[in-house]
Structure 1
Amino acid sequence: MIPRFNYSFSVREVWGAMSALFAKEPSGAPVYTRLFPAATVYEISSARAGIAYALAALQLPENARVGVQPYTCSSVMVAIQKAGFRLVFIDIDETLTLDTNDLADKLTGLDALIVTHTFGISAKVARIKELVEDLPVIEDCAHAFGSRYDGVQVGNFFDMAVFSFGNGKFPALGSGGLLVVNNRQYVDAVNERMHQLKPNSLFSELAFVGRQLIKSLLYSRVGYSLIYKFFSRRLADRGKQIDTHSGLENEIYRTVKGRLRTDVAEIQAAAIRQRRNALAIIDKHNATFNFIYNQDPDSTCFALVCLHEQRDDLFNHLIQGGIGAGKHFQHASLWASSFGYQRGDRPHFDQLVEQVITIPCHDALTQTDLSIIDEALARYAKRGSFREQLTAFS
């Protein structure tokens, strides 16, 4: 089966990780600081930790109201609650990012806002800026490293931003992320929190490398096929659980930091391949399927995202064809209900969460893989057309 994401951990990457573990830290500014020229950038253990640090830096009063879209990772919802704040859910639009009309209606009374660039599709930054004025805003860029809005890397537009490099993200380094602080009034608070973090032990670092090797095997083509065949139901049930792990205690792994700082050329090349793969499918099937993606030509495609009213039927068709499709955040309604959300509160979200399907476009795909995906989508479209003809005839 074609894996949903690229979990590869090659011999070269293992060597690079181990070299980083025992090497001196590189001198000079990391290359990604070029993406955020006016910001203070921190390497962090995870995006969930970054959201927690950012919320704490805002120094909001207890029970402050934080706006967030319900179509997001449960760890974001948990971070808001653990900070002692209340969640105010704001609807999404057809791009799976904040509905600015609903934001305008909910803005009064908000103490802060989280703006999510879902699947690397940039939110409507200009309109949001007009609306929020001086309201503190955190950008959730967990899907959006390499994604741009108006030619500028997202994460540059509001007070703070958080990126993720965990498994299934881009770049997929297995762990880690960035906290970007654009508003200098929050730097001291973030510095204080970062200085409290503990470095990982040598054993923890080696154990992390070992886990990455195991995941690389489990999520290989053969491993992914076996997992789906024998454990798909269990994994689906597990996905209903809310992710409560904080990941706040330690610094970023040295092995991840080293790869992030030294594998720059490969990360850039992978981004180009990933977008090229996505566009190869989109260009052939855009007239039949409703794909959504960041149309900036220099932006990474986090995943090939499609909205389809018969999502489960399309999902099963792709899985049966050996394609690791996904129903990303399919349990978001269930997660949000644990934080006060009631179905019907945000009608666009209620509809769209049932339609989202992601199709592999990661940089490790071969031309054969792309042909398999292309043919599977063509067969499904032809089958749908045939059904429509039968319905019309009857």
Structure 2
Amino acid sequence: MIKEKIGLIPRYNWDYKFPDFAKAFSAAWRHNSDSKGILESVFGQEPILTGSGRTSLYIILKSLELPEGSGVGVPLFCCPVVFEAIHEAGLVPVFIDINIDDYCISASDLQKKIDSISAIIVVHLFGHPANMDAISSICRSIPIVEDCAHALFSKYKGKSIGCLSTVSFFSFRSGKYISSGEGSAIFCQDPLLYKNINRFIEKLKEWKLLQEIFHCTATYIKSILYNKPWYGTIGYPVGRLLDQKLNLTSKTGIKLRKIAKGDLIILNDRIESFFEKVRKQRENAFFFMKNLNLKGGELPYEKSDCQSNYYQFAIRFQNSSQRDFIADYLLRCGIDSAKYLDEIVDVSKIDYGYRGDCPNSEICSKTVLVVPNHYVLSDKDLNYIVKCLNNGNEYFVSTCT
């Protein structure tokens, strides 16, 4: 059965409704931003707030005061804005391969390259916790930066992601778990580094009133276009056109700003109740793992000492032909999906000097498909996604292999 475009299920969850817009719009007119106390009570330590995740990472890297041109370890299979922040900070990315089963940094590859790095960025991709014990053992005194953009409320050996290293940061932009518009929080365990970071924060630009109004208005409009019924008719076609016209994985620059007042009020409004939404998304992921039967498709799994928030549900297929076929089949069924980081290898070679020494990352860039598992999906949606994935894969196996 082919669904009409008006019912297209979005690949990501842009959860920013009119009441959120109204609160953000009202906050833009206030002289004082909302308190950080709610965030502190949830995370157990005071956050340092910035306008975006890339701003946070840039400030962290500058605050480490590494010599110009120092190497920073980073997984190849991650968002290229991480590489851009490294470059903008006057440092050089040293690409580390990933484990093919959890998409996080490979401790064995890190061990091979440890002598060439002065700091490392550990990305908990898709919400799956990296092996922090192994990484910490290898790095010893080398600063570890946790990129927790995907990993809100994920846990590693009973401890919350974000408190396992020297310094960490979270992202709350639209499409992420909180979807406050933009915004980021840094958590730092080192007193000297904490002071250095705050010195940078003091220099960040404040949002002007018109910028705040435009920002919350644009966020609300984008959210409308990235949800049913407008996603299939406007959001998806426009997004696809932009993908064709622009290289969205290329360098875009970093806007160094403080967090917008509207973003902070939405963040505070949502954070305490968000545990329930993470619980629901985990429930959705387990429903998929129980009911999907994909020959040639590897589903995520949860290690016994870890708890993933399943921010994204990634399936790894045997080859790009199978992955691409399933993506096209799902689209015909009215389900959008994402060929995650499909162009990351080429971008990294051209812009950041990648030398081709991360084979697992290269495999994943051509075989991983992210499918919707949002907490807002209905039981009907979840069953439909499972049905289409199973049927599409069965058809591929019977006719294309």
The separation in 2 between residues aligned to 1:229 and 1:81, in whole angstroms, is 32
What is the 5 A alignment of 1:224-243? 224-226=231-233, 227-229=235-237, 232=240, 234-236=242-244, 238-243=246-251
Between the two proteins, what is the percent identity of the paired residues?
27
Alpha-carbon deviation of 1:5? 1.5
What is the 5 A alignment of 1:87-166? 87-94=93-100, 95-166=102-173
Alpha-carbon deviation of 1:299? 3.9
Give 1:48's aligned amino acid.
R
Alpha-carbon deviation of 1:89? 0.8
Q: What is the aligned partner in structure 2 of residue 261 from structure 1?
A: 268
Q: What is the aligned partner in structure 2 of residue 74 from structure 1?
A: 80
Q: Deviations over 1:254-289 (max 9, x none)?
A: 011111112234422322222222221121116643
Alpha-carbon deviation of 1:386? 2.9
The separation in 2 between residues aligned to 1:25 and 1:86, in whole angstroms, is 36
SS, match of residue 139 in structure 1: strand
The separation in 2 between residues aligned to 1:294 and 1:211, in whole angstroms, is 37
Q: Deviations over 1:117-151 (max 9, x none)?
A: 11111111010111110001111111111111112
The separation in 2 between residues aligned to 1:11 and 1:383, in whole angstroms, is 42
CA contact (8 A) 1:240 1:331 kept: no
Determine whether 1:325 maps to 2:331. Answer: no
Determine whether 1:368 maps to 2:380. Answer: yes
Task: Give unmatched runs, 5+ long, in structure 2.
Answer: 1-7
Judging changes above 3 Å, is the alpha-carbon distance between structure 1 residues 237 and 277 closer, same or farther for their aligned structure 2 residues? farther
What is the 5 A alignment of 1:1-394? 1-22=8-29, 25-26=33-34, 30-34=37-41, 36-37=43-44, 39-94=45-100, 95-226=102-233, 227-229=235-237, 232=240, 234-236=242-244, 238-248=246-256, 250-285=257-292, 288=295, 289-292=297-300, 294=302, 299-309=308-318, 310-337=322-349, 338-343=351-356, 345-387=357-399
CA contact (8 A) 1:307 1:355 kept: yes
The separation in 2 between residues aligned to 1:297 and 1:103, in whole angstroms, is 21
The separation in 2 between residues aligned to 1:300 and 1:371, in whole angstroms, is 20
Give 1:342's aligned amino acid.
R
Judging changes above 3 Å, is the alpha-carbon distance between structure 1 residues 98 and 238 closer, same or farther for their aligned structure 2 residues? same
The separation in 2 between residues aligned to 1:258 and 1:240, in whole angstroms, is 29
The separation in 2 between residues aligned to 1:286 and 1:172, in whole angstroms, is 32
Worse-matched range after superposition: 105-114 or 288-297: 288-297
CA contact (8 A) 2:46 2:187 kept: yes
SS, match of residue 142 in structure 1: coil
Judging changes above 3 Å, is the alpha-carbon distance between structure 1 residues 184 and 209 closer, same or farther for their aligned structure 2 residues? same
The separation in 2 between residues aligned to 1:118 and 1:15, in whole angstroms, is 32
Judging changes above 3 Å, is the alpha-carbon distance between structure 1 residues 263 and 92 closer, same or farther for their aligned structure 2 residues? same
Give 2:76's aligned amino acid.
P
CA contact (8 A) 1:294 1:301 kept: no
Q: Deviations over 1:22-55 (max 9, x none)?
A: 565555x533324543x54211100000010000
What is the RMSD computed on CA atoms of the aligned residues? 2.1
Alpha-carbon deviation of 1:15? 2.9
Judging changes above 3 Å, is the alpha-carbon distance between structure 1 residues 312 and 102 closer, same or farther for their aligned structure 2 residues? same
The separation in 2 between residues aligned to 1:231 and 1:188, in whole angstroms, is 41
Task: Give unmatched runs, 5+ long, in structure 1.
Answer: none
SS, match of residue 119 in structure 1: helix
The separation in 2 between residues aligned to 1:373 and 1:125, in whole angstroms, is 34
The separation in 2 between residues aligned to 1:75 and 1:15, in whole angstroms, is 30
CA contact (8 A) 1:55 1:83 kept: yes
CA contact (8 A) 1:7 1:220 kept: yes
Q: What is the aligned partner in structure 1 of residue 3 from structure 2?
A: none
SS, match of residue 43 in structure 1: strand
The separation in 2 between residues aligned to 1:231 and 1:197, in whole angstroms, is 31
Give 2:353's aligned amino acid.
G
The separation in 2 between residues aligned to 1:8 and 1:26, in whole angstroms, is 21
The separation in 2 between residues aligned to 1:245 and 1:260, in whole angstroms, is 25
Give 1:57's aligned amino acid.
S
CA contact (8 A) 1:155 1:162 kept: yes
CA contact (8 A) 2:127 2:150 kept: yes
Judging changes above 3 Å, is the alpha-carbon distance between structure 1 residues 294 and 169 closer, same or farther for their aligned structure 2 residues? farther
CA contact (8 A) 1:5 1:360 kept: yes
The separation in 1 between residues aligned to 2:375 and 2:291, in whole angstroms, is 19
Give 2:59's aligned amino acid.
Y
The separation in 2 between residues aligned to 1:286 and 1:183, in whole angstroms, is 47
Structure 1 length-normalised TM: 0.91
CA contact (8 A) 1:240 1:334 kept: no
The separation in 1 between residues aligned to 2:271 and 2:247, in whole angstroms, is 32
